[in-house]
Amino acid sequence: MTKPAALVGSILLLAPALLLVTAGLAATHRVPRVEGDLDLDGRLDEPLWREAVSFELEYEVDPGENIPAPVRTVVWFACNESQLLAAVRAYDPDPSQIRANYKDHDDIGGEDWCALILDTFNDNRRMFDFFVNPLGVQAEMIESSQGGGDSWDAIWDAAGRIDDEGYVVEYSIPFSSLRFQRTEGEQVWGIDVVRSYPRSVDHRLALFPRARDNNCYMCQSDSLVGFAGVVPGHNIEITPTASAVVTEYKTDPETTHETYEPGVTASWGFTPNMTASVTINPDFSQVEADAPQLEINNQFALYYPESRPFFVEDAEFFSTNLLTVYTRSLADPLWGAKVAGKEGGQAVGAFFVRDEITNLIFPAAEGTGMTTLDQQVTGSVARYRRDVGRSSTLGVLLTDREGGNGYYNRLGGIDGNVRLTQRDQVSFQAVRSRTQYADRTAADHGQPEGSFDGGAEELLYLRDTRNLDLYFLYRRLDDDFRADLGFIPQVGYYQAEGGGEYCWLNSPDHWWNYLSVNMGYEINEKLGGGPTLHRMFNTWLNYAGLEQSWISTRLTFGDRSYNGRTFNVRFYDIQSGISPSGRLTLGLRTVLGETVDYAHTRAADRIRLQPTANFKLGRHFQAGLSHIYEKLDVDPGRLYTANVSEARLTYQINRRSFLRLILQRADYDRNAEVYTAPGGDEESLMSQLLFSYKLNPRTVLFLGYSDNYYGAEGVDPEQTDRTVFAKIGYAWTP
């Protein structure tokens, strides 16, 4: 099989010739310059709205395919010297059905909302998305043309108000919170405006029709023209913070650990589109507890998402197909520095962080080892990405991690996303690493002595048409490849996978509006010979219909090898959900079938049930409940029963503050007669009470309490520690 690195040159030579330019019917909207600021109150009574350019959202793009919108939506745009101003009048025939609640910043899923999608560089690659629900709750993200989106925290303001005709939202977005082209004349921005209208189905209304067989979303967009003389400015932001954490450990004798830490984070836009930031002694702690996961019978390390502000900002600059940058590997930084931005067709990013501890992952073909060393380490990442053609990119990534006793991990490589046609695209990445562990670390964890090298490669082909999607994936990671600033839990294998999906589309008011059938085949081979790690055939059947109901059924069968033995594997994975009203959402995942008992290397039968429920009472209170139940049986009998539960109860005082209680419980009941590997019964409890106030994403106040209980081998859980914590931060812009 040809390696993807050998194909890159040919692909790039062919891309310009194969790239098809969309000959769309996109409209151009000229944005007027107005005087004065906007009084954000959800009312369209300011004179400036009479001068603004206006247009309507005429299309439903999902689930309806470019059909007339079921309700009317009018949008206005204007700008003054320092701000982009926008408003949306969302008409509704029955305003009592509007789904809107007071919620935390960035938490508007399942709601009515309106979103501005801005391609400020007009390059079809990256969009700034600004969401507002009918009560003024805000969210924002950066959306990539390569798929998916990244969290992003920007300082802007909005307001929303429900009335007898529907609702109105107003936006005030400082140009200093955006990045855009550097030009003295007029600018052209790609624009879409999207409205979520969730009723029996979640209608998505948009500004322009979308061709489902065109993989370049913003190539089809309308344009905003104007903004002459507007620049982001050399904006400076300084955010001092103060945090206090007091933890009491229930040891014998009891001990108390107190930490009082001032910190500061400062950013400077030293060009209109390049920002440098530094942070000293930051509070990088996770303010809110991670969602619980099942920590038993896992072959590889668990992934947890990043939510810390310093790393979330500009995260899209560092993302690649292989997860070679995973900032949660940096656990307790002393200081950090970062620069990121885009000038013309060139995007650059770099950060340097000094960490108090060293988290290490030791990946292998059949499992993951981990350790934490009590020694400081410095992590560095440099990224360069170049636009090619109308919507393709090429990039270079370098990472370096240096610690004591001779430890280092260095990585470098190239990556790219090439759009061959409107329907076909190829993404690739090829990287190589060199690593050396301290002698003691290598000996304790079975790692190579001295320095060692390894490479990793990935090639992904996608073909998207109206009804048929196809894909092919090839991935190869050497035994000695390491990405210590990333999250690579498995190495020493190559993987080939291919498949496709055929979908049927129906009218939104039909009992089904979407059906699809997927089929795929995957083979995962261990490098250097030995049994095939796994060989699987997958087939899915997906449904979406009325009452926002959906079902996805998956059948997987094949064989899996582990620790020298090969096992037949066949299981069903059924996921479903329904949201019959704005007050209730239910979900259930069921997994049934054959698996592997990794602790004892033997065949097992598994049943896993994961119900979820979300209730909303009034506009201020919501409760989220989730549970994971798993039982594994082997030939001698029951191996274990696991239960992991979480309850989240939130009283949202207003759109800026809330009081939240989180309760988590994990109970692992191992059958001692059958479970002969290390480990016994365990039960743990965690509670966290948090008050949060956010004037904006960086002007915040957190006050909280948390505690932990633990019990093992039939002993009831006893409190192991309790903590009170506080943090205050203020974003100052001189």
Distance CA 319, CA 397 (A): 10
The pLDDT of residue 234 is: 58
For the ranges 141-155, 169-183, 296-310, 461-475, the maximum mean pLDDT occurs at: 461-475
The structure tokens listed for 460 are 């992904």
31-226: CATH number? 2.60.40.1190
Residue-range domain boundaries for the chain: 1-15+298-488, 31-226
What is the Cα–Cα distance from 97 to 710, expressed in whole angstroms?
A: 45
pLDDT in tens, 419-449: 999 899 999 999 999 999 999 999 999 999 9
**Confidence class for position 1, pLDDT limits 50, 70, 90:** very low
Residue 307 reports pLDDT greater than 90: no
CB 613 within 8 A of CB 579: no
pLDDT for residue 14: 37
Q: Look over the chain and give the mean of its residue pLDDT values, rounded to a whole number.
A: 90
Instruction: List the structure tokens of 437.
Output: 């562990």
Is the pLDDT at 19 greater than 70? The verdict is no
Band (pLDDT 50/70/90 cuts) for residue 13 is: very low
> If DSSP states are collapsed to H, E and C, what string results for 200-235?
CCEEEEECCCCCCCCCCCHHHCEEEEECCCCCCCCC
Residue pLDDT, tens place only, 79-101: 998 899 999 999 999 999 999 99
In single-letter form, the type of residue at position 373 comes to L
pLDDT given for residue 217 in this prediction: 87
Contacts of 384 (CB under 8 A, 6+ apart): 346, 347, 348, 395, 396
What does the pLDDT average to over 318-347? Answer: 89
Question: 149-158, 533-542, 622-631: which range is least confident on average?
Answer: 149-158
Among the listed ranges 9-13, 394-398, 524-528, which one has the minimum average pLDDT value? 9-13
Cα pseudo-dihedral 590, 595, 597, 598, rounded to 10: -100
DSSP for residue 49: H
User: Over 90: is that where the pLDDT of 708 sits?
Assistant: yes
CA dihedral 57, 61, 67, 70 (to 10 degrees): -60
CB 438 within 8 A of CB 404: yes
The pLDDT of residue 287: 63
pTM of the model: 0.87
Taking only the tens place, the pLDDT of each residue in 137-190 is 999 988 876 655 566 788 899 999 999 999 999 999 999 888 887 777 899 999
Please give the single-letter amino acid code of residue 406: G
How does pLDDT run across 403-426, given as a tens digit for each residue? 988 999 999 999 999 999 989 999
pLDDT of 16 > 60? The answer is: no
